[in-house]
Structure 1
Amino acid sequence: MTQQPFSRPGAIDLSALKRTPPAGAGAGGAAGAPAGGGGAGGSTSAYSVAVDEANFQAVLEASMTAPVVLVFSSPSQSPESAQLALDVATVADEYDGRFLAASIDVDAVPQLASVVGQAMQIPQLPVPLMLVLLDGRPATQPIPGAAPIDDIRALFNQLAQQLTAQGITGRHQPNAFGAAGGEVAEGEEPEIDPRYAPAQDALAAGDIDAAVAEYQKLVDANPADHEAAAGLSMAKLLQRTQGVDLNAARAAAAADPDDVDAQTLVADLDMLGGHVEDAFARLVELVRRTSGKERDRAREHLVGLFGAVGNDDPRVLKGRQALASALF
C-alpha cells in the first residue's frame, strides 16, 4: 500500500451531502447523531461504524473532530474488501479514538455509495477502496485495493504522525455509533432542520436534479439561508459534472484557454478532484484575460464556487482578493 500525504485543508467539501449539523456536536463526536448499525464490516469495535443513509451525516460530523477512515466494500464482488473493513476497524481501535473506521457496503447502500462516489469524481467505485476524511472532506487521495493489516498499521502510523505535527489532537468517543436500532442515545435529541430533508433525501437517492430543485426552493424563499445556498452551489456543481469525460474536458480547455464553457467545466472538475485553489486560480486568470459578458460569466461562476466551499474558508478569502485584483 502506498502511503498517502495527509492534508488538513482537504479536497472537495462533502458537506452538501449532509443536513444541518446537529446542535451540540463537540470535540467528543457528533452529538445527537443517529447511531450506526454496528461496526465496520460487522465488527464490534469501539471506534467503527457501518455507514448508511441514516448516519452518513453523523459520520461527516465526526470527521470535524478527528479523521474518519472510510472503506468501500462489497462482499459479493470482493470478499477481501470485507476483510479490509474489519482490519481497518481493528487498527482504528489501537489508536484510542484518533481515528474512526467507517464502512460503506456498496451492496447494501448502492445509492449512497453512488452519490459519494460522484462527489469524489469516481463514478464507478472500485472495491475495496479506502479514503481518509477530515473536516467533512477527503484528506488523502483514494487508496484502492486490499492490503495486509501490517500495511494498514503503517499507514495509520504515518497519518498519526502527521496529525501530531499539524496540531490535530481531537479524538472520537468510543461507541458513539453503537446504540442499536438507530435510536438516539438517552438524553440526546437530534436537531435536524426538516427544511433540508427533501434535498438531502434526493442526494441520498442519487437524484442530483431533484436536490438542485429542492435547494433552489429554499434559496428563493430565503436568500439569506447560507446553508441552503451552499447546498445549492454544491448540488449544481455535481449536476454540471455528471457523466463528463475528464480527459476530454481538459483537452478542450487546453486547446482554447479563453473558452469560458471549457474553462469553467475544468474548474468544476478541479473542485471535485480536490484542487480547490487550482479551480479558483484558473477562473481568476480567465477573468483577467476576458471582458464584457464573457468576463461576467467567468466571475459569476467563480463566485458560485466560492459559495460551494464556504465564505469563511481561507482559500475563498484568498480567492476573493485575487478576483478583486483581476477586476480592478
Structure 2
Amino acid sequence: MDPADLRGAVDLSALVQRANGAGEGAAPPTAEAARAEAVASGAEPIAVLPDAVVEGDEQTLQEFMQLSRFMPVVVEMHAAWSSEAQALSPVLARLVRAQHGRLVLVRIDLDAHPMLGKQPQVLALLAGQPVQLFAGNPPEEQIQQLLDEILQVAQQQGLRGRVQIEGGGDGEDGAEPAPEPELPPLHAEAYAAIERGDYEAGISAFERALAENPADEQAHAGLAQVKLLERLQGRTLDEIRSRAAAEPDDLDAQLDVADLDLSGGHVEDAFDRLLRAFPSADADGRTRIRERLLELFEVVGRDDPRVSAARRRLTSLLF
C-alpha cells in the first residue's frame, strides 16, 4: 500500500508533530496545524480510503500503527488453513464497515507473511499499542461488544479520529457501504455447521456444492479444511506427537502429525514429513500420502509458494 493512499486527506506528519508536542514555543499555529487539530478531534477525516477493510503486509501494518495514534485500528491475522478464520472474515469486515470510518480493519495473510505470526487472531491497535481481542470465531454478538468497547476506550483516550470511505460520505452520516456478497447457500450451510462444531454436516454441504459444480475452488478448499478439523477433533497435541515418536513407521501416526503441524501453521514441516515418508511406503501408503498432500495443498492454497515447492517434490517422487 502506498503511504500516500493512507494519508489522503491530510499529511500524517502534522499529526505526529502535534502528538509529540512539536512546535512548543514556536510560531503561532498555521492553517495546516489547525487542520491537524480538526483531524485529531474527528471534525475532519484523517484519510480517504477506498474501503474500511484493507489487505496488508508488514509495511501496511506500520502505516496503520501510526494511524492508531489518532483512531482505533483492528488487525485480523488470518490463514487459509483455518476454517474458523475463513468463517470469521466476512462477519468482522461487515461489523467494521458498519462503523462508517470510526474503525478500520487491516487483514494480514499469515500464510503469505509468516514473519508476522503463526496463529490466526484479532488485535486492536490503540495509540500505537497492540491489544489482543480474541482468537477463533466467537459469536457475532461478542465481536460487536468488543468493537464497541474498543471505540469507548478510544474515546476515553482522546483517539477521536476517523477516515472517510470513498463513496460512503464522511464516515459518520454517509451512505451505508455496499453489503458483503452473500455466500452460496451450500457454502453458508457448511460454515454454519463448522461454527457449531458439526464437521460431518460441513463436509456433506461442501460435497454437495462440488456435486453441483466440480470446478468450485472455494468448495474444494473448504472441504479440505473441514476434513482436517474432523481428523483432529478430540485429539490432543501430546497424544499425536507421542504416538508418532513411539511408532515412526506407523503411517497413520505420521499423517496425524502432518495434520497437526499444518493446523499449527508449520506448513513446510507438514509437507516435508509426508514427502520424506513417501519413498519407503508401499503402494497403498504412497497413495494415501499423495491424497493427503493434495488435501493439505488445498488447505494452504494452490498458489502458495510452499505448495508449489512441495508439489514439485511430489512430482519428482512419483516419476
Name the TM tier (shorter chain): 0.5 to 0.7
Q: Give the gaps of 5 or more residues in structure 2.
A: 1-57, 62-76, 144-161
Q: Kindly name which structure, 1 or 2, has the bigger radius of gyration based on alpha carbons.
A: 2
TM-score (norm 1): 0.53
Q: Residues 266 and 217 (structure 1 numbering): CA distance in 2 closer, same or farther, change over 3 Å? A: same
Aligned counterpart in structure 2 of residue 321 of structure 1, from 306, 312, 315: 312
Q: Which residue of 2 aligns with 1:211?
A: 202
CA distance in 2, matches of 1:301, 1:275: 16
Q: Residues 263 and 252 (structure 1 numbering): CA distance in 2 closer, same or farther, change over 3 Å? A: same
Q: Structure 1, residues 193-217: CA drift from partner, whole Å, max 9, x if none?
A: 3332111212222322221221121
Aligned counterpart in structure 2 of residue 193 of structure 1, from 183, 200, 204: 183
Q: Which residue of 2 aligns with 1:90?
A: 126
**Counterpart amino acid of 2:94?**
P
Shift of 1:305: 0.6
Q: Which residue of 1 aligns with 2:42?
A: none
Aligned counterpart in structure 1 of residue 264 of structure 2, from 247, 251, 273: 273
**Counterpart amino acid of 1:62?**
R
Shift of 1:227: 0.5
CA distance in 2, matches of 1:214, 1:34: 24
TM-score (norm 2): 0.54
CA distance in 2, matches of 1:228, 1:105: 24
Q: Residues 248 and 187 (structure 1 numbering): CA distance in 2 closer, same or farther, change over 3 Å? A: closer
1:251 aligns with 2:242: yes
Following superposition of structure 1 onto structure 2, how do residues 1-328 of structure 1 map, counting pairs within 5 Å? 13-14=80-81, 16-17=83-84, 18=86, 33-36=93-96, 46-47=102-103, 62-63=107-108, 88-92=124-128, 103-104=133-134, 109=139, 174=163, 186-195=176-185, 196-328=187-319
Q: Give the gaps of 5 or more residues in structure 1.
A: 1-5, 23-29, 49-58, 73-84, 114-172
CA distance in 1, matches of 2:141, 2:285: 37
CA distance in 2, matches of 1:103, 1:225: 33
Shift of 1:241: 0.3
Q: Residues 253 and 105 (structure 1 numbering): CA distance in 2 closer, same or farther, change over 3 Å? A: closer
CA distance in 1, matches of 2:182, 2:81: 17
* Preserved CA contact (<8 Å) 1:112 1:205: no
Q: Residues 111 and 275 (structure 1 numbering): CA distance in 2 closer, same or farther, change over 3 Å? A: farther
Q: Residues 275 and 20 (structure 1 numbering): CA distance in 2 closer, same or farther, change over 3 Å? A: closer
Across the two proteins, how many residue pairs are aligned to each other? Answer: 214
CA distance in 2, matches of 1:210, 1:251: 30
Partner of 2:278, secondary structure, is helix
Backbone CA RMSD of aligned residues: 4.6
**Counterpart amino acid of 1:194?**
P
Shift of 1:190: 2.1
Q: Which residue of 1 aligns with 2:24?
A: none
* Preserved CA contact (<8 Å) 1:47 1:175: no
* Preserved CA contact (<8 Å) 1:70 1:104: no
